[in-house]
């Protein structure tokens, strides 16, 4: 009886933190995107409305639906979900279906809205890898030894490398190296947790470094981001403009900020305000204290996810929780790190806050599965 009460209390706490993050994100987006919304669409609340209608509302439905569906359903249907996600990733390259924005071919045009298959793939990859590795840990043919197949070069490393190469490659061809990096991070995080050999992980790191270096050399704008990161003062009106304006926004906020809706940088001084740069606007308006509180809240939510993983009923549930934590935590570190100048700009959105209906919707769906696991 005490155990059931404890589970119920933890669930209420988890859901409360989750909705605080989601609602806070919508509020920040409403303020940060007001100027660019009016400039581009004649409506100060265009981005907020779009996020609410095509992100929050379907996400809310998926959250409650996924919280009710037994999590083993996703484990049983992981292969079909992966195949569907791969088809969606390919469809973005079809001229009459795919939509391009800022040289990135990452969206499917539905007419009334767009979806971003790479965001869907993040969740589906977590589900598939969790299902696959949990099966490998059980061994084949009733074998008693666990982890052997995960540590195996032919059964574990090579198939994992092929799957990751196909998935990350399709995203890289969309000219979205930031999202590709998050997908690789999620996959490697689950692989490590499942019991991968250190030699395989080191090989993955070296191979990823070579590929990433090649991708940077192929596109001058990526090399410019690295150059601006190393030396932000090199060209403040050119390649260093974005990072310098972001640092100016963060620094202008001081301890308690300029006040909600009082940002100056959002008046088209700082690029990509509703998306990649939204944390800088948050810091400018709310200041160091409240921005730090947001970071603490976000990472406390991740801590609660990892706590659920610790007491998860099986390997699939545990690996799923770890994958979700790596996803949210990795994106948050990449985004915030770029805005305060400790990481290069990657174009990765801030979870629960940045504009992107598909991102918010899928994050809410993943959180629904998490709630179902926490009740088991």
Q: What is the pLDDT of residues 191-246, one digit of tens each?
A: 999 988 899 999 989 988 888 888 777 776 777 777 777 777 776 777 788 889 99
Evaluate whether residue 128 is within a structural domain. yes
Q: Is the pLDDT of residue 61 over 90?
A: yes
Helix (H, G, I), strand (E, B) or coil at 111: coil
Q: Find where tokens 């809205």 sit.
A: 113
**Closest to 132 in 3D by CA, of 65, 206, 184, 81:** 81
Read off the pLDDT of each residue in 44-49 and give the average, rounded to a whole number: 95
Query: Is 306 in the same domain as 197?
Result: no
The residue ranking higher by pLDDT, 57 or 376, is 57
Predicted confidence band of residue 51 (pLDDT cuts 50, 70, 90): very high
Evaluate whether residue 366 is within a structural domain. no
Q: How far apart are CA 117 and CA 251, in angstroms?
A: 35
Helix (H, G, I), strand (E, B) or coil at 100: strand
What Cα–Cα distance (Å) separates residue 52 from each residue in 59, 275, 279, 355? 9, 15, 19, 10
| Domains in the chain, number | 2
Query: Is 201 in the same domain as 93?
Result: yes
Predicted confidence band of residue 174 (pLDDT cuts 50, 70, 90): confident
Evaluate whether residue 305 is within a structural domain. yes
Output the six-digit token pair for 145. Answer: 């030894």
Query: Is 184 in the same domain as 298?
Result: no
Burial zone of 303 (CB within 10 Å; 0-12 exposed, 13-18 middle, 19+ buried): middle
Query: Is 198 in the same domain as 269?
Result: no
The residue range of the domain holding 171 is 77-218
Query: Is 93 in the same domain as 203?
Result: yes
The predicted pLDDT at position 290 comes to 95
What distance lies between CA 263 and its chain's CA centroid?
A: 26
What Cα–Cα distance (Å) separates residue 326 from each residue in 121, 122, 201, 341? 14, 11, 16, 21
8 A C-beta contact, residue 308 and residue 278: no
What Cα–Cα distance (Å) separates residue 223 from each residue in 215, 220, 230? 9, 5, 11
**Closest to 213 in 3D by CA, of 181, 243, 189:** 181
H-run or E-run covering 226 = helix 220-230
Q: How far apart are CA 238 and CA 286, in angstroms?
A: 28
The predicted pLDDT at position 360 comes to 96
Query: Is 104 in the same domain as 126?
Result: yes
Evaluate whether residue 372 is within a structural domain. no
8 A C-beta contact, residue 91 and residue 66: no
8 A C-beta contact, residue 18 and residue 366: no
What's the predicted TM-score (pTM) here? 0.92
Q: How far apart are CA 34 and CA 48, in angstroms?
A: 8
Evaluate whether residue 361 is within a structural domain. no
Output the six-digit token pair for 182. Answer: 């998050």
- Which of 183, 218, 253 marks a domain boundary? 218
The predicted pLDDT at position 304 comes to 93
């Amino acid at each position: 009886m005490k155990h059931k009460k404890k589970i119920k209390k933890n669930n209420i706490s988890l859901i409360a933190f989750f909705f605080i993050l989601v609602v806070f994100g919508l509020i920040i987006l409403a303020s940060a995107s007001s100027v660019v919304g009016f400039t581009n669409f004649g409506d100060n609340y265009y981005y907020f409305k779009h996020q609410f209608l095509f992100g929050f509302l379907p996400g809310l439905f998926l959250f409650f639906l996924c919280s009710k569906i037994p999590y083993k359903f996703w484990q049983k249907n992981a292969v079909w979900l992966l195949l569907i996600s791969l088809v969606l990733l390919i469809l973005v390259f079809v001229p009459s279906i795919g939509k391009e924005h800022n040289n990135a071919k990452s969206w499917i045009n539905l007419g009334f809205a767009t979806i971003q298959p790479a965001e869907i793939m993040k969740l589906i990859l977590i589900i598939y890898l969790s299902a696959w590795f949990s099966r490998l840990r059980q061994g084949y043919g009733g074998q008693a030894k666990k982890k052997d197949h995960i540590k195996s070069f032919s059964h574990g490393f090579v198939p994992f490398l092929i799957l990751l190469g196909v998935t990350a490659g399709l995203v890289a061809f969309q000219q979205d190296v930031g999202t590709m990096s998050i997908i690789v991070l999620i996959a490697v995080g689950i692989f490590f947790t499942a019991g991968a050999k250190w030699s395989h992980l080191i090989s993955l790191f070296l191979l990823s470094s070579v590929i990433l270096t090649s991708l940077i050399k192929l596109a001058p704008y990526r090399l410019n981001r690295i150059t601006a990161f190393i030396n932000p003062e090199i060209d403040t009106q050119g390649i260093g403009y974005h990072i310098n304006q972001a640092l100016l926004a963060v620094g202008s906020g001081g301890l308690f900020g300029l006040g909600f809706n009082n940002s100056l940088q959002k008046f088209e001084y700082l690029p990509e305000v509703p998306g990649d740069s939204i944390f800088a606007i948050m810091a400018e308006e709310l200041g160091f204290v409240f921005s730090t509180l947001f970071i603490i809240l976000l990472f406390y939510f991740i801590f609660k996810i990892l706590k659920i993983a610790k007491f998860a009923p099986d390997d699939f549930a545990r690996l799923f929780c770890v994958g979700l934590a790596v996803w949210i935590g990795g994106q948050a570190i990449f985004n915030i790190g770029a805005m305060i100048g400790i990481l290069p700009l990657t174009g990765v959105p801030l979870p629960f806050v940045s504009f992107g209906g598909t991102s918010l919707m899928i994050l809410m769906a993943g959180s629904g599965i998490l709630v179902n696991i926490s009740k088991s």
